[in-house]
Structure 1
Amino acid sequence: MKPVLIAALLLPLAACQPNAEPKKVDDTQGRAETQGIRNTEAIGYAGDAIANKVDGALDANDQRKDALDAQLKAAEQPQ
């Protein structure tokens, strides 16, 4: 009878153990500049698709700027 009593006392304690934290649903994607566009998904717009295109354009712009900066730096170096 004692094992049943012990089990009855331990069962509520085991049920009260904290669960692992739930995974957040709204993990941010893309660039910080387009988070406002992505938030329009909640009201029915295709915010993710638009934001992905804007992210692509911003990434291409950054790559072009880096290439031009590298060319400018190379041209400024004494030969």
Structure 2
Amino acid sequence: MKVKYFAWVRERIGKEEETIEPPADVRTVGDLIDWLARRDESYAYAFETPLVIRAAIDHAHVRPDATISGAREIAFFPPMTGG
């Protein structure tokens, strides 16, 4: 699946997107965040406060308990503000 990173999540990881194949036990967005955070220091830094990270699966906003099975694209971004 393709994973995209936006705003300071992208800046902390150092890449805009990547294609990954998480292990079978990674079933939800929350599991994916945990798995990514264990990859290296940059991911750990980007996901150090997982409760503030927002996610979208195939362009639809989802909660951390959303299943990632069948997802083509998952995006991670910080909370948005407007003005």
Q: TM-score with structure 2 length normalisation?
A: 0.21
Q: RCO greater where, 1 or 2, for CA within 8 Å and sep 6 or more?
A: 2
Highest Rg: 1 or 2? 1
More strand by share: 2
